[in-house]
């Protein structure tokens, strides 16, 4: 059974640019969540999608957005990148809520 | 709101037992989780415990839950150098749609 796949693995962007990260969940999983991991703040919840609907959003500015497609694949977008957006972005999927999430390997974003 | 706290570092010798502790705030949590993160990798679900259980054993891993004190612990028996990693305790928010993580405990195993 294939795991959660995130692309790309590494990304370097310049301040002010925008970036799109992609996540393919485990087949059959309809809940997809995104987390930001930084050394200072640890793991912080960004948003969760289920059947193309955003059900929950963390405390991040509007520059962070996401969406989920009908095949459960998800993308997150960060516009007007700032240096502080440098982080490991992790995607996770689960069959439904209150289920242990399976995480992908993450996308390491560096903003210069 | 929900909050999860863990000690930040633990250092043990190979072959010893490791105990990683965690406290949480949301008493309505149905499941509590332990995740492991190795350098440069994502999070791996290690084990979980249902809130109506006191203990769960899975090979070298033992999870203890004290619901009254909202305290969770992970014991790793016969710790190996390959167990060196960051261990995260996590609970769901009330809606069950977001995992709340502790800051992680870095386990260092010396031979």
> Within its chain, how far is the Cα of B102 from the centroid?
9
B95: left (phi over 0), alpha (psi -120 to 50) or beta: alpha
Task: Provide the phi-psi class of A90: left if phi over 0, else alpha when psi is between -120 and 50, else beta.
Answer: beta
Q: Does A89 touch chain B (CB under 8 A)?
A: no
H or E segment and range at residue A10: strand A10-13
Q: Helix-strand-coil percent breakdown of chain A, rounded to 5? A: 5, 55, 45
Number of A to B CB contacts under 8 A, please give it. 59
pLDDT tens column, A61-99: 999 999 999 999 999 999 999 999 999 999 999 998 777
Out of B31, B41, B103, whose CB is closest to A105? B41
Q: Give chain A's radius of gyration (CA, Å).
A: 13
Q: What is the mean pLDDT of each run of 10 residues along chain B (111 residues)?
A: 87 97 84 93 92 92 94 97 96 84 96 90
B22 token code pair: 């965690």
Residues 6+ apart with CB under 8 A from B69: B23
Predicted confidence at residue A1, as pLDDT, reads 66
- What's the helix, strand, coil split of chain B in %, to 5? 5, 55, 40
Q: Which residue of A has its CA nearest to B40?
A: A105
């Amino acid at each position: 059974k294939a795991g959660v796949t995130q692309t790309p693995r590494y990304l370097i962007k310049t301040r002010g640019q925008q970036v799109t990260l992609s996540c393919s969940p485990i087949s059959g999983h309809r809940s997809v969540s995104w987390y930001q991991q930084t050394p200072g703040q640890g793991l912080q919840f960004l948003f969760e999608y289920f059947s193309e609907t955003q059900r929950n959003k963390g405390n991040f500015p509007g520059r962070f957005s996401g969406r989920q497609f009908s095949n459960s694949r998800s993308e997150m977008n960060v516009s007007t990148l700032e240096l502080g957006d440098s982080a490991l972005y992790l995607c996770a999927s689960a069959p439904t809520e209150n289920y242990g999430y399976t995480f992908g390997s993450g996308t390491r974003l560096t903003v210069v | 709101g929900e909050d999860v706290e863990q000690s930040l570092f633990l250092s043990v010798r190979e072959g010893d037992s490791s105990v990683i502790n965690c406290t949480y705030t949301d008493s309505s949590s149905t499941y509590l989780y332990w995740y492991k993160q190795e350098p440069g990798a994502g999070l791996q679900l290690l084990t979980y415990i249902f809130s109506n259980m006191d203990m769960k054993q899975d090979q070298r891993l033992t999870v203890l839950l004290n619901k009254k004190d909202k305290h969770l612990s992970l014991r790793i028996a016969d710790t190996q150098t390959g167990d060196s990693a960051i261990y995260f305790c996590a609970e769901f928010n009330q809606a069950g749609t977001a995992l709340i993580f502790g800051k992680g405990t870095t386990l260092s195993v010396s031979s």
